[in-house]
A and B are shown apart, each in its own frame.
Chain A
Amino acid sequence: MWIAISAITFFGVIAIISLVVSWGVLAKPMQYKKVVPDIRLNPGERKVFEFESFCLDHHRGGPRSADAYSLMSTPAIKLRPYLRDIFDEYLSHPSRWKQGDVQQAVWYTEGNSRWDSLTPEQRMLIKTATGKEDPVAGHPVIFLSRMASGFGVVVRTNLTLALLAFCLVVLTMTSPWAVIERGISWMVSPRLLQKLAQSRLGQTVNTVAENKELNRVRIHLDVLFTNLVFRIFSRKRSWGLLKFTNIFFRISE
């Protein structure tokens, strides 16, 4: 009994943490905190600002014409290893490195490019900036980021679907525990299933399903919907529709 409860609690905590991790890591560095730059213009004054920009997300599609641009600070500088080193190197020796090589080095910090696929200039830039050869290889932070970008959406979608489907069965089925049991019977032993049914979880599921207020809501919604359909399909209209379907049927025959 306690083993089952501990196992459920353990996996439940892990599921919640992985849901949070996959949600959080996906949000960074895609959603940057907006920073309003201190640009003040007097009436009739015109200022020109030039910005050199780099793409941080290689797998993101190209910008569309309708996309809005804004100046933002990015947590990627702090979160992604070696990114600051590459920018620092480029800013301190701008004439030494080409923008295209810097862009490739920035994408390399995502962990999706192979060291062998880079040109000698790009490798030199990374080595000068970080002091290491192939610094991304085996780096746990970059590995986690790659894992989250590859599996984050899948983990989030599947866990949310499982949670919502579970709640749906509990809230809408007449005998929810039987449906839940049949769904998990392939991966849990019958003895554990029996214990689960007798546990607090099983009792809570049955209590929720048999709740009078919930039952009243279900019935009320069904009655409301039926009345609405009955009004729409009032006698004349329903005959009209039935005739229409009959005519449609004859024509198709």
Chain B
Amino acid sequence: MGFAEVYKYILSYFGIGFLGIGILLSIGLIIPACYWLFTSVSINKGAVVFRRILLMLVIMYISFSYVRAPSFYEIGGWWKTTFWTAVVVGFLVPVFRIDIIRLDRKQDRAIAVISGLWWILLIFSEALLVSGVPYQAFILYLFIAVAGILCGGMIGTTVAQTAKRKMSESPEATTIK
């Protein structure tokens, strides 16, 4: 056995150890990450716009980098179209159903539920990947669609809330029937 091979052997044992601890850490950290995500997604206090724009970027980054992984080569190129279509749908639904938006709520349950679904699909897909299921295109398309609805829904809800606040401030709003 040459020097290079022995060197690779030793490095590999270190790599296995580090990756093993990394796996445990990633399993442990995903739960607080999920709590932090749900809290910041749903809360309606403070700088909501700033928070939701950053959240949208985070969800887009995580979803895109996950779906682009070499393991999911088989899903094809339609996931981007699916995502942007879902963003448009997610944005338009709260804007056109402005009547169901309530300004007095401290937490937005609908967005929290969608973010919970996004997280469950991510964990489910990761579990399938680890267990060696080769094709999971359906789950991935569902995941990317939910990610799109979540991103569009967050911005759409914020737009609808702002617009409703404007309408409720106006005295004429009460006279419309």
Instruction: Kindly list the 9 A-B residue pairs having the minimum CB-CB distance in the complex, ordered from nearest.
Output: A18-B22, A61-B74, A218-B47, A183-B32, A158-B26, A140-B12, A172-B51, A162-B33, A162-B29
A171 touches B54 (CB 8 A): yes
For the A-B complex, the count of residue pairs with Cβ-Cβ distances under 8 Å equals 216
Contact of B54 among A162, A168, A249 (CB under 8 A): A168
Given contacts A60-B73, A168-B58, A242-B98, whether A147 and B16 have CB atoms under 8 Å apart is yes
Contact with B along A137-153 (1 / 0, CB 8 A): 00011011001111111
Report B's interface with A, CB cutoff 8 A. Answer: 5, 8-9, 12-13, 15-16, 18-23, 25-37, 39-40, 43, 45-51, 53-55, 58, 61-62, 65-66, 69-71, 73-74, 76, 96-99, 122, 126, 129-130, 132, 134, 158-159, 162-163, 166-167, 170, 172-173, 176-177
Contact of B163 among A159, A171, A233 (CB under 8 A): A233
Bound-complex Cα distance A60 to B22 (A): 25
B8 touches A141 (CB 8 A): yes
Tell me, rounded to whole Å, the shortest Cβ–Cβ distance linking A67 to chain B.
10
For A19, the chain B residues whose CB sits under 8 A away are: 22
For B73, the chain A residues whose CB sits under 8 A away are: 60-61
Instruction: Give the residue name and chain of the B residue nearest to A156 (CB).
Output: B65
Tell me, rounded to whole Å, the shortest Cβ–Cβ distance linking A129 to chain B.
16
Is A55 part of the binding interface, using a Cβ–Cβ cutoff of 8 Å? no
Instruction: Give the residue name and chain of the B residue nearest to A237 (CB).
Output: B163
Interface residue total, chain A, C-beta cutoff 8 A: 75
Is A248 part of the binding interface, using a Cβ–Cβ cutoff of 8 Å? yes
Is A179 part of the binding interface, using a Cβ–Cβ cutoff of 8 Å? yes
A174 touches B46 (CB 8 A): yes
Instruction: Give the residue name and chain of the B residue nearest to A184 (CB).
Output: B32
Given contacts A18-B19, A166-B33, A183-B32, whether A225 and B130 have CB atoms under 8 Å apart is no
For B35, the chain A residues whose CB sits under 8 A away are: 179, 182-183
Tell me, rounded to whole Å, the shortest Cβ–Cβ distance linking A234 to chain B.
9
Contact of A161 among B30, B70, B177 (CB under 8 A): B30
For A15, the chain B residues whose CB sits under 8 A away are: 22, 25, 29
Contact of B18 among A18, A171, A172, A186 (CB under 8 A): A18
Bound-complex Cα distance A49 to B153 (A): 54
For B53, the chain A residues whose CB sits under 8 A away are: 221
Report A's interface with B, CB cutoff 8 A. Answer: 11, 14-15, 17-19, 21-22, 25-26, 30, 57, 59-61, 64, 81, 140-141, 143-144, 147-162, 164-166, 168-169, 171-174, 179-180, 182-184, 186-187, 217-219, 221-222, 225-226, 229-230, 232-233, 235, 238-239, 241-246, 248-249
Tell me, rounded to whole Å, the shortest Cβ–Cβ distance linking B36 to chain A.
4
Contact of B173 among A174, A183, A242, A249 (CB under 8 A): A242
Tell me, rounded to whole Å, the shortest Cβ–Cβ distance linking A250 to chain B.
10
Bound-complex Cα distance A221 to B48 (A): 10
Tell me, rounded to whole Å, the shortest Cβ–Cβ distance linking A96 to chain B.
27
Bound-complex Cα distance A18 to B29 (A): 14
11 A–B pairs (Cβ distance < 8 Å), ordered by A: A81-B8, A147-B20, A153-B126, A157-B62, A159-B22, A165-B32, A168-B58, A172-B50, A218-B46, A245-B98, A248-B96
A165 touches B18 (CB 8 A): no
For A147, the chain B residues whose CB sits under 8 A away are: 16, 19-20
Given contacts A168-B54, A233-B166, whether A159 and B25 have CB atoms under 8 Å apart is yes
Instruction: Give the residue name and chain of the B residue nearest to A13 (CB).
Output: B18
Bound-complex Cα distance A244 to B53 (A): 28
Tell me, rounded to whole Å, the shortest Cβ–Cβ distance linking A167 to chain B.
9
A225 touches B18 (CB 8 A): no
Contact of B176 among A17, A60, A154, A243 (CB under 8 A): A243
Contact of B37 among A57, A165, A182, A230 (CB under 8 A): A165
For A217, the chain B residues whose CB sits under 8 A away are: 50
B166 touches A153 (CB 8 A): no
Bound-complex Cα distance A160 to B170 (A): 44
